[in-house]
Amino acid sequence: MVTKRSVSLDDEVASSVEEAAKQDGVSFSAWLSSAAEKQLRVRQGLRGVAAWEGETGSLSAEELAAGEALLARLRSGVSGVASRVRRR
């Protein structure tokens, strides 16, 4: 199911989205929908981390560094990420 909405975008943003959608071979709406889905996953992840920290305390510097390293590997497309930092 699809819900139609009318949105207003800054002219520069709209032009950039249009170009990105064209490069990705999708419609303007599909590109915006994908971007919104990604942002919602980020928000959900941040809420999850905040809840986890509320139960167990803030992440240590070592845990934050390990998370940053994992993110860098995932973004670079390196597979087989098996290193984990143990929780205190």
Could you tell me the residue range of the domain that residue 79 belongs to? 58-88
Same domain, 47 and 22: yes
Closest CA to 29 of 45, 9, 44: 9
Are 66 and 28 in the same domain? no
Produce one character per residue of 1-21: b if its CB has 16 or more CB atoms within 10 Å, e if not.
eeeeeeeeeeeeeeeebeeeb
Question: Is 24 within the bounds of a domain?
Answer: yes
18 belongs to a structural domain: yes
The count of domains in the chain is: 2
Residues 62 and 79 in one domain: yes
Which pLDDT tens digit goes with each residue over 76-86? 986 554 444 44
How far is it, in rounded angstroms, from Cα 63 to Cα 53?
12
Do 38 and 48 lie in one domain? The reply is: yes
pLDDT by residue (tens digit) across 41-58? 999 999 999 999 999 999
Q: Are residues 84 and 67 in the same domain?
A: yes
Residue bearing tokens 């390293």: 69
Are residue 63 and residue 78 in the same domain, yes or no?
Answer: yes
| pTM listed for this prediction | 0.67
Task: Determine the Cα–Cα distance for residues 88 and 82; give it in Å rounded to an integer.
Answer: 19
